[in-house]
Amino acid sequence: MSATLARSAAGLGMASERTRLRMVARLREQGITDEVVLAAMAQVPRHLFVEEALASRAYEDTALPIGFAQTISQPWVVARSCELARAGRMLDLVLEIGGGCGYQAAVLARLAREVYTIERIGALAARARQTLAAAGIGNVKVRNADGRDASSNVVQFDAIVVAAASATIPPNLPSLLADGGRLVIPLGGAEHQRLTRLTRHGEQFERETFDDVVFVPLKSGQE
């Protein structure tokens, strides 16, 4: 564990566990009903994934800056995205687009056998790897790449979670879903987005629209 992570962990100590339980109680009040997701949220130390100066605010229900004009999503958004992706089912393989600091991947790692997360900003991808390792989470693979170009000739995913907003569903992603798999993505413009779920049924796709959200835009390219 790096010195910064060690100080953050030591500074909050057991208080962070109590704070996480209060966060989970708030998530229930906000309508999150999947107890498996709530248990995962209770287990992941969010304060390790934010800057040391913001560690005391880690369990507030707000997005926080992580550098490079990116944010760690508010806990409710992470819980809701995971709830929609899980849809009450066990998950085997999960793909995340827009890994950021690694927090949502850490939650997904509690819900799935293996998580692949793609982050286009190299420094954030490196930080996510370090933090996930420090948190003892070993079933997440972090890749520095352009998520809009994600492809696979072999692997199909039970769930794909996109943590950035797009006007349309990237055309490469639906084909990466296994039969019955769910893609969760915020769709819309800069000021109005809706969490949207695409479920694969053979060669047909069912589309559902859910909550209003605000995400940074899904960009192309690799840094």
| Identified catalytic residue from 16, 73, 81, 166 | 73
Q: What is the DSSP letter of 73?
A: P
73 counts as catalytic: yes
CA distances from 46 to 20, 54, 68 (A): 8, 11, 19
How many CB atoms lie under 10 A from the CB of residue 188? Answer: 19
CB 150 within 8 A of CB 172: yes
**Of 69, 79, 22, 29, nearest in space to 213 by CA:** 79
Contact 81, 161 (CB under 8 A): yes
Enumerate the active-site residues: 73
